[in-house]
């Protein structure tokens, strides 16, 4: 192909790809490799288990939504112990699906009513500066239904779960500090439901901190699970930082029958760098699951929908999920 022809064709091909993505409401940039992902599972109830140690680990994900070469890479795990995914989002990255994002979809059509989701996350202090403007790092997105019915966000140095069955009553539940320069493990257990039989449980570093009964999704299709960094504000404004770097490793998804122990990355050495002493957290864990009832559980269900002036969960602001 001569240079001139290539120059003409490139934007056409990009346009065709974008069109096909929109049409399917999903970016099938990566092939569907759920079968091979399943083969990595260590338990019959694990649907997905990715530690980024094998060849082409990113092929095991569904759509990958990135705008630049730095957006998603596989690198050495901070603190040692193998490989990990690394997300980097910059304020001046190109838009992807209407905003600044670097995300992959872990589970899509495989979602069942009862599911387990787990990962380890590492936030580097120098490249993940706390600020009040928030970003989404996990979202349970129901196709065509706007702002995700459940999401993990970071905001002002805190990890926050937002969950509910409609935008007006969605709860904001504090999950503790965004601990820097060490690995944290998060496990989420959900019985996906619009109705009262819904269940949302969260463990951070093996400690159960949320047990919430009630609707945790809109009255619609089961959600897909996306991870990465999505910062809607950067599409229209700057904030106090222009960079978000974080690492996700040992991403696991389980179905009914999975246990907390299945979801925790017990085979991984969780190395804590010695430069920083955590003060408020439980150490990264290989603990056995407990059945203890949480002590800081469900907040009242009467949260005022307009209490947040930035209203980041208002319908429409995040419509492309
Ligand atoms: Ca790994």
| Distance (Å) from CA 182 to ligand 1 centroid | 14
| Distance (Å) from CA 52 to ligand 1 centroid | 5
**275 pLDDT more than 90:** no
Strand 100-107 to 83-90 pairing: unpaired
Kindly state the DSSP code that residue 153 receives in the 8-state scheme: E
pLDDT at position 265, please?
A: 73
**pLDDT, tens digit, for every residue of 165-186?**
999 999 999 999 999 999 999 9
Q: What residue spans define the domains of the chain?
A: 29-263
Q: If pLDDT is split at 50, 70 and 90, which confidence band does 208 have?
A: very high
Tell me the average pLDDT of the chain.
80
User: How many CA atoms does the CB half-sphere of 227 hold within 13 Å?
Assistant: 25
**pLDDT, tens digit, for every residue of 98-107?**
999 999 999 9
| Distance (Å) from CA 269 to ligand 1 centroid | 10
pLDDT at position 266, please?
A: 64
Among 164, 163, 169, 112, smallest CA distance to 136 is for: 163
| Distance (Å) from CA 268 to ligand 1 centroid | 8
| Distance (Å) from CA 161 to ligand 1 centroid | 25
**48 pLDDT more than 80:** yes
Query: Which fold would CATH assign to domain 29-263?
Result: Jelly Rolls (2.60.120)
| Distance (Å) from CA 189 to ligand 1 centroid | 22
| Distance (Å) from CA 245 to ligand 1 centroid | 17
| Distance (Å) from CA 85 to ligand 1 centroid | 8
Sheet holding 135-141, edge to edge: 64-65, 100-107, 224-231, 135-141, 150-155, 158-163, 171-177
| Distance (Å) from CA 290 to ligand 1 centroid | 25
| Distance (Å) from CA 259 to ligand 1 centroid | 21
| Distance (Å) from CA 203 to ligand 1 centroid | 20
List CB-based neighbours of ion ligand 1 within 5 Å.
Answer: 51-52, 82-83, 249
| Residue 230 and residue 215 in contact, taking contact as beta carbons nearer than 8 Å | no
| Distance (Å) from CA 222 to ligand 1 centroid | 28
| Distance (Å) from CA 240 to ligand 1 centroid | 31
What's the token pair of residue 205?
């570093």
| Distance (Å) from CA 216 to ligand 1 centroid | 30
pLDDT at position 13, please?
A: 41
Q: How much helix, strand and coil, in percent to the nearest 5, is found in the chain?
A: 15, 35, 50
Distance CA 294, CA 176 (A): 14
């Amino acid at each position: 192909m001569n240079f001139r022809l290539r120059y003409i064709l490139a934007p056409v091909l990009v346009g065709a790809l974008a069109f096909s993505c929109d049409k399917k409401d999903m970016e099938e940039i990566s092939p569907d490799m759920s079968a091979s992902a399943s083969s990595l599972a260590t338990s019959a109830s694990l649907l997905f288990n990715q530690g980024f140690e094998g060849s082409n680990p990113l092929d095991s994900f569904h759509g990958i939504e990135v705008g630049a070469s730095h957006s998603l890479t596989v690198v050495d795990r901070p603190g040692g112990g193998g490989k990990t995914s690394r997300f980097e989002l910059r304020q001046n990255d190109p838009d992807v699906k209407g905003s600044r994002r670097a995300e992959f979809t872990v589970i899509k059509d495989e979602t069942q009513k009862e599911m387990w989701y787990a990962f380890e996350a590492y936030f580097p202090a120098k490249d993940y500066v706390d600020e009040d403007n928030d970003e989404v790092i996990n979202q349970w997105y129901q196709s065509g239904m706007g702002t995700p019915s459940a999401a993990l966000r970071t905001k002002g140095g805190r990890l926050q779960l937002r969950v509910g069955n409609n935008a007006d009553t969605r709860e904001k539940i504090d999950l503790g500090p965004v601990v820097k320069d060490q690995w944290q493990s998060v496990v989420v257990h959900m019985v996906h439901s619009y109705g009262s039989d819904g269940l949302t449980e969260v463990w951070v570093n093996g400690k159960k901190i949320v047990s919430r009964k009630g609707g945790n999704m809109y009255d619609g299709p089961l959600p897909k699970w996306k991870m990465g960094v999505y910062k809607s504000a950067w599409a229209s404004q700057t904030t106090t930082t222009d960079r978000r770097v974080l690492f996700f490793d040992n991403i696991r998804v389980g179905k009914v029958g999975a246990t907390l122990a299945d979801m925790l990355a017990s085979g991984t050495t969780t190395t804590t760098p010695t430069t920083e002493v955590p003060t408020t957290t439980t150490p990264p864990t290989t603990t056995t699951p407990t059945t203890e009832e949480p002590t800081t559980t469900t907040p009242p269900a009467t949260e005022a929908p307009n209490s947040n002036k930035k209203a980041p969960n208002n319908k429409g602001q995040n419509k492309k999920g």
